[in-house]
Structure 1
Amino acid sequence: MTESEKLSQIWRVMAKSIPPLKSLQAFEAAARLSSFLEAAHELSVTPGAISRHIKILEQYLGAILFKRHSNGVKLTSSGASYARKVVTIFEDLDSATKAIKYSAPRNNLTVSSLPVFAERWLSERLTSFQMAFPNTDLQIDTHVDAELFSRPKVDAWIPFSDGDHPGFEVHHLFDEFLVPVCSPSFRKTFPDSPSVDEIVNSTLLHDVNWGNDWSHWAQAVGTEGQRRDAGLKFSLYSGVIQAALDDLGVAIGHVSMIQKELAIGQLVEFSEYRIKSPKAFYLAIPRPKTAMKKSRSLVAWFERECKR
């Protein structure tokens, strides 16, 4: 008999004697937490489901494992004895799983993006990244446009650009749309339907790295304005948004970066005119790194996240 056949025979025997795994999971959690309700929360099921799994296990064993009473549940002597063994088995299984999972060689991955992208898009998806890359140590680097592609150790860049980057494999992530935004209270200081000239000639808030935002928007809606380069200037887009939240003026909203503030009403659109930015967000991978497995996996992950 081969080793594979021996294992198959062992599993057939065990399958007849081992209770259903879901019932064991429900029992272990309920025993450890002394509560069907808390066990349900931990396992993301209903208390009724926990109760059903416990009944299945009790019928399987032919023994009562819990005493039910108005204040909750308590293990019987049989339940307590069984729980000690089940908990030990689950702990051993957890240790064995971690030993294999974390013994695999770890990869290092450095991704560089604009600070606003790292703070407002990438950071919200780190849990998804960790699930997709359990053996990868991620370093999030940030750059301004002048530093783009200047660091040889970066595995992937996320430029906000026209997408023309010789020497890189470039993948389009998503387009960006621009619209003037301000706080609700600042908006109330203007007429119900302000003209584009009134908007452009109000107190403008600028990101110095995106210095052409107001010009792009003004030209697209057909006004030059007199003061589109005047106002408050910030080196980070987070400063622009905070100034808008603090009633200090009108900012060009990069819609993908301020979705939360727009959704909950902290910022409002100051104009009906949303324009498509001449730039977009891209994933750019240096040509020498494109064949690497981690690069291919990273491209696939970004594509999935951008479709969510």
Structure 2
Amino acid sequence: MIAPRRFLPSVSSLLALEAVDRLGTATAAAEDLALTHSAISRQLKTLEAQIGVSLFRREGKGLALTPAGLDYAASVRDYLQDLARSSMKIRAAGEKSSLNIGVLPAFGTHWLLPRLKSFAVQYPDITVNLSTRLAPFDFSRDKLDAAIHFGTRDWPGVEYLDLGQENIIPACAPELLGPGALRVPDLLTMPLLHLESRPGAWEDWFERNGHPADRLRGMLFDQFTHMVEAAVHGFGVALLPEFIARVEFERGRLTPAVAGRTPIDSRYFCVWPHLRPPSRPLQRLLDWLGQIVAQQPVHPDR
């Protein structure tokens, strides 16, 4: 239910409030919004009268927001951003239905996007928008229909579609390897590259391969993209998901540092809110993902 109209200020007055808060003066706000100083003043007076709370106080020739005004301006900024995103979403989709999906950068680039073309061909009336996320988020706040989750079934309040387990492979530039094949212990003498979102990944890999190690150090990256490039340029050995490693092996930019691949406990899931039944477009995407995974799992057996 929408609130009574008397509680809904005009967008113009909210833009004036946001601009004064952001720029510090009514004069700067007027210039930013291509309005006169008096027009900004009228918008602010109308807004205060409608809200019934003092949002500004005079400080010399300028205006300063009251504590209530500062809180309200922060809420208004979020509202304006949401309104702008919604407008951009419908403008981009046109007459089509649209889906907003949160994706992990590497998974989106190397696994999802190469396959998403077939979904677009099969369902030309649905536009899929991808939003890159590195950290967990809240479906109640973020305007997303679904998201790609890596880990276990530890996300409260969501439904899961299992996309498969992950295998990892140590990879490095071909010139970083000496003559002859390397063994697992040999990697302890080489520079190791680390990912912020996967602390302890190397320690876990060595333990799973029969050579426990701890306190392993090396260059640290926040995304696989940068870590891959560092490995390509010879900075060290990167521990990569198989779907990334295979691409780089085929390109000849990287090579396996040791033979074999190692399965880990974490899996990839598509998740969506438990209390929000999938829309028709989302159900189409989930059905399609299920078919894709059945044919081409995240880690194909090779």
Report the TM-score, using the length of structure 1 for normalisation.
0.61
Deviation of 1:233 after TM superposition, in Å, equals 0.7
Report whether the alignment pairs 1:162 with 2:152. yes
Name the structure 2 match of 1:28. Answer: none
3-state SS of paired residue (1:259): helix
Measured in 2, the distance between the counterparts of 1:173 and 1:112 equals 15
Report whether the alignment pairs 1:261 with 2:239. no
Report whether the alignment pairs 1:237 with 2:227. no
Residues 179 and 253 in structure 1, CA contact (< 8 A), matched pair in contact too? yes
Which one-letter code corresponds to 2:132 in the other structure?
A: T
Match of 1:112 among 84, 102, 107: 102
Which one-letter code corresponds to 1:219 in the other structure?
A: E
Match of 2:126 among 120, 128, 136: 136
Number of aligned residue pairs: give it.
Answer: 203
Name the structure 2 match of 1:125. Answer: 115
3-state SS of paired residue (2:153): coil
- CA gap of 1:148–1:266, structure 2 versus 1, over 3 A, is farther
- CA gap of 1:281–1:192, structure 2 versus 1, over 3 A, is same
Measured in 2, the distance between the counterparts of 1:181 and 1:139 equals 32
Residues 98 and 281 in structure 2, CA contact (< 8 A), matched pair in contact too? no
CA RMSD of aligned residues (A): 2.2
Identical aligned residues as a percent: 26
Report whether the alignment pairs 1:283 with 2:270. yes
Question: Tell me, which stretches of 5 or more residues in structure 2 are unaligned?
Answer: 1-92, 297-302
Which one-letter code corresponds to 2:108 in the other structure?
A: A
Residues 179 and 274 in structure 1, CA contact (< 8 A), matched pair in contact too? yes
Name the structure 2 match of 1:183. Answer: 173
Report whether the alignment pairs 1:217 with 2:202. no
Question: Tell me, which stretches of 5 or more residues in structure 1 are unaligned?
Answer: 1-102
Higher helix share: 1
Which one-letter code corresponds to 2:107 in the other structure?
A: F
3-state SS of paired residue (1:176): strand
Match of 1:250 among 226, 237, 246: 237
Deviation of 1:236 after TM superposition, in Å, equals 0.8
Measured in 2, the distance between the counterparts of 1:262 and 1:289 equals 41
Please give the per-residue CA displacement for 1:44-102, whole angstroms capped at 9, x wherever unaligned: xxxxxxxxxxxxxxxxxxxxxxxxxxxxxxxxxxxxxxxxxxxxxxxxxxxxxxxxxxx
3-state SS of paired residue (1:175): strand
Larger CA deviation: 219-228 vs 131-140 = 219-228
Bigger Rg over Cα: 1
Deviation of 1:279 after TM superposition, in Å, equals 0.5
Deviation of 1:110 after TM superposition, in Å, equals 0.5
Deviation of 1:232 after TM superposition, in Å, equals 0.8
Deviation of 1:197 after TM superposition, in Å, equals 2.5
Name the structure 2 match of 1:300. Answer: 287
Residues 99 and 129 in structure 2, CA contact (< 8 A), matched pair in contact too? yes
Which one-letter code corresponds to 2:180 in the other structure?
A: D
Measured in 2, the distance between the counterparts of 1:158 and 1:129 equals 17
Residues 192 and 219 in structure 2, CA contact (< 8 A), matched pair in contact too? yes
